[in-house]
Amino acid sequence: MSTISISSLFPFCRLKFVNSEEVELGIGSGKVIEFRPDQRFSPISAHCKTKGTSQHSKHQRFLRDLSLGPHKTLIHLNYRKIYCPHCGQVRVEELDIATPGGPRVTKRLATYIQQLCKLMPVKAVAEHLHLDWKTVKEVEKQGLQSEFGDTDYNGLRYLAVDEISYGKHHKSFY
C-alpha cells in the first residue's frame, strides 16, 4: 500500500512535523497537525530577529490553516519564548507560520482571507471558512494596514471632497 506524505504541504521554516491525527471539530471532520521548533535552528526574537541567549518557556497554540480538501486543518504549534539580549527582555521566537499575538490563523490562511475579503463581505467569508467573523475582520484589518499603512496627514493644507450629490428632497442652499 502506498502512503502519501502530507509534510510537503506544510513547508514552514524553523518547524518540524511531529504527527497528524483525524479529529471531529464540530464544523466537520478535521486534521490536527502538530509541529515543534526545529532544533537545528537557534531561536531568534520575533521582535528584532536577534538570536536568543536562553529559552525562557515553552508554549502551545492552535491555529487554523488552509483546508486539506474537505478537512478543516488545525495546526498544533509548539513554540518557545526566549531571552533577547538586544531587547533585554523575554520575546516570542520568530516562526514563519504566524504573526505572534495576532489572530489564530496561519499567515497563508490570512492571505487567503484577505483575498476573499476583496470579493465578498466579511460575514460571507466567515461562513465560507467556518471562522468567527471577528477573526475575519481582524485579519482583513491587518491586511489593509500592511497594504496601505496609516495615512500621514502631516503637512496637509487642503482637504477636497470629490463628489457632492443634490437630490429632490435635499435642503437647498440657494
Residue 42 found at the interface with Zn ion (CB under 5 A): no
3-state secondary structure of 112: helix
Residue 18 found at the interface with Zn ion (CB under 5 A): no
Residues between 47 and 66 with contacts to Zn ion, criterion CB under 5 A: 47-48, 50
Candidates 14-22, 46-54, 56-64, 108-116: pick the segment binding Zn ion (CB under 5 A). 46-54
Report the C-alpha gap between 129 and 18 in whole angstroms: 26
Contact of 77 with 61, CB cutoff 8 Å: yes
Candidates 40-48, 96-104, 119-127, 163-171: pick the segment binding Zn ion (CB under 5 A). 40-48
In DSSP terms, 87 is beta-bridged to: none
Q: What is the dihedral of CA 97, 57, 21, 128, to 10 degrees?
A: -40
3-state secondary structure of 97: coil
Report the C-alpha gap between 80 and 58 in whole angstroms: 5
- Residues 36, 86, 104, 108: which binds Zn ion (CB under 5 A)? 86
Helices (H), the chain: 107-117, 122-129, 133-148
**Shortest Å, Cβ 153 to Zn ion:** 31
Residue 9 found at the interface with Zn ion (CB under 5 A): no
H helix or E strand, kind and range, residue 55: strand 54-68
Residues between 142 and 161 with contacts to Zn ion, criterion CB under 5 A: none
Which CB atom, from 85 or from 143, has the smaller least distance to Zn ion?
85
Residue 111 found at the interface with Zn ion (CB under 5 A): no
Candidates 12-20, 63-71, 82-90, 104-112: pick the segment binding Zn ion (CB under 5 A). 82-90
- Residues 31, 45, 72, 129: which binds Zn ion (CB under 5 A)? 45
